[in-house]
Each structure stands twice: as C-alpha cells, then as structure tokens.
Structure 1
Amino acid sequence: MSIFYFIAILSILFAVLVISAKNPVHSILYLILTFFTFTVQYVLLNAQFLAVVNFIVYLGAILVLFLYTLMLINLNKDSEPMKSTMVKIAAVLGGGCLMVVVIAALKAVGVSQPVLLKDPSLGLVKNLGKVLFNEFLLPFEVSSLLLLSAMVGAVLLATKDKKTTV
C-alpha cells in the first residue's frame, strides 16, 4: 500500500504543478506526468485495460496534440488581453468554492477502510473481451459499422469533386 500512497501523492503534486506553472508548455508536461501516475495507479489496482487505454489515448494522442498546438501558437504576454474585474471576482469565488470542497474532503480522510476486491481478476482484459464478444457482440458490430460509414463519409466529404466544365 505504500507504493499506492506514494504514487497518489505524486499525482496530487503534479496536478498542482499543472495549475501553478507559468509556462503553458511546462503545464502540459506536468499534465503528462499526472496522467502517467494515473496509469501506474490503474496497474496497481489491477485494471490493465484502463492503464493501456489511458497510456495510449491520453499520453500518446491527446497530450501530444496539446503540446504541438501550444508550440505552434504564439503565446506572447503582449497579445494577452487584460482581464476585467468581473473575471477576477469570478476567479476568486471559484477558488473559494474549491477551497471549501477541499477542506470538506480533507475532514473525511482516514475515515473509511480501503476497498478490497473479492475477485482479483476483475479488471483484466480477458474478462472484458469475454463480455464484449459474448453479451454485447451485436452492439459492438453495429458500432464498428457506424464508425466505418462515418469514416467513408468523412473521406467523401473531404475530397473535392473536380468537375471540368466545357
């Protein structure tokens, strides 16, 4: 359990660094570390499928896209507009509400017992595959046909019809 708590503390630390970083590129790099600690937590909780999906989808695709987008746009302080007083007041109220929620959550720390799984193979990919391809085979195949038709439609819409008029 000590590894779990260490990774949980790292997750919280990196999440705070995401919010408090001045440089947006550093903020996204801290977000990558935060999602990586989530992946480690999923592995520790025996949810390998969620770990792999989190690693591939979030770390491999979305955050890299965020990082490239931030590198491509120009983030000068000169081009940043001044915030109005209403935005600043809303930010202070939102931060105060967040502080109240965090204090209320910290009061309940240590009250509950850790959850122990009765079935240690609960989060395995093998069990997910059995359920997916036995009970939900028809919806799975219908969704694959819908995705295929959406892909064909996107390709048809993206290609321009080159008609030559004589």
Structure 2
Amino acid sequence: MEQVAFYILAFLAIVSALFMITRINPVHSALWMLLTFFSVAGIFVQLDAEFIAAIQVLVYAGAILVLYLFVVILLNPKSHGFIKIPFRYALGTVVSIIIVIQVLFAVKTSNILGQKGDITDQLMAQHGNVKLFGKVLFTEYLVPFEIASILLLVAMIGAIVLAKKE
C-alpha cells in the first residue's frame, strides 16, 4: 500500500511540475507549484522524515510561494506563450540529462556513499527524528549552523540596504 501511495505522489509531483513550467498564466503556474510542494512533502512523510515535510510545507509552500506571487503581482509580467528554444540549447539539455543519469548510476553502483550511521530504527522510534536531528545539529554541527545563520543575517541586512531608497 505504501508503494502505491509513493507512486501516486511521485506521479503527481512530476505531472504538476510539468504543468507548472508549461502554463502561460503565472498564477496558474504558482498553483501547480503548490501542488508539487505538497506532493514532495507527502513523499517525505512516507520516508518518516516528518520534520523535513513540515519544513517543506512551511518554507516552500508558505514563504517561497507567497514571495513568488508577490513578485508576479507587483511586476505583472506579460507572457506571450512558449519561448522558442534554439536547437543547441535543447541538445545541451539532453546531453546534460544523460550525464546526470550516468553519474547517478555510478554513485548508486559504487561504495562512494560511505557507511551507514549509528542511528537505528529503534532509536528513532524511541526518541523521534526531530529530537535526534536537533541533538546532532546542536552538538556536532553547531559551528557550521552558526556560520550559516550569520551569513543569512548578513545577506538579509545587505538586501535591506540595497532595497532602501536614498
């Protein structure tokens, strides 16, 4: 039953992503993007990654989509249908996809991913994945977490300074 639900969510994510990039109206495109985000969040729930699913819904379906809609409303872009893509770009896209598939196959068949971690299913069931995620984040990865937060703060201040009218 879980496999059927996964295939339904994956099919829904792929189809809605295709509809998102092929719609002429940007608001319709945003609604298809919303469905894509919810489908991906459903896949994360099936992987027992409830925290990542919640972040997917809150950050992407909430904040990023609202930001996208504000840009669409404020700029009011006029779309005139599909953009004609030159042949060399289409050929480059096909070659890039083939190379990505080859790299993914090489990673899958080799031992490059390393060994499994020490967190078992029993430990996850006992403590919950959010608690374990927080414990690892604030012990082993505290310094990179703080550096990332400082970089985001600097970027936010920079965006405010650049957007401020003189």
> Mind listing any 5+ residue stretches in structure 2 that lack a counterpart?
110-118
Query: Deviations for 1:31-79, whole angstroms, at most 9, x for unmatched residues?
Result: 111011101110111011111111111111111111111122132358x
| Structure-to-structure mapping, 1:29-68, within 5 angstroms | 29-68=31-70
Please report how far the alpha carbon of residue 119 of structure 1 lies from its aligned counterpart in structure 2 after TM superposition.
2.2
Higher Rg = 1
Amino acid at match of 1:43: V
Aligned residues: 143
Q: Percent identity?
A: 39
Which residue of structure 2 lines up, in the alignment, with residue 134 of structure 1? 139
Whether contact under 8 Å (2:24, 2:79) holds in the other structure is: no
Tell me the distance in 2 between the aligned counterparts of 1:6 and 1:92: 29
Using the size of structure 1 for normalisation, the TM-score is: 0.64
Residues in 1 aligned to 2:57 and 2:75: alpha-carbon distance in whole angstroms: 26
- Change over 3 Å in CA distance of 1:55–1:149 after alignment to 2: closer
For the pair 1:88 / 2:90, whether they are aligned, the reply is no
Question: Looking at both structures, which has the greater relative contact order when contacts are Cα pairs under 8 Å and sequence separation is at least 6?
Answer: 1
Counterpart of 1:74 in structure 2 is 76
Q: 2:24 — aligned with what?
A: 22
Distance in 1, matches of 2:153 and 2:66, equals 28
One-letter amino acid of the structure 1 residue matched with residue 48 of structure 2: N
| Structure ranking higher in helix proportion | 2
**What is the alpha-carbon root mean square deviation over aligned residues?**
4.0
- Residue pairs, 1:117-156, within 5 angstroms: 119=121, 121=124, 124-137=129-142, 139-140=144-145, 146=150, 150=154
Question: Structure 2-normalised TM-score?
Answer: 0.64
In structure 2, what residue type is equivalent to 1:130? K
Report SS of the residue matched to 2:121.
Answer: coil
Aligned equivalents of 2:60 and 2:41: distance in 1?
A: 10
Structure 1: tracts of 5 or more residues without a match: 161-166
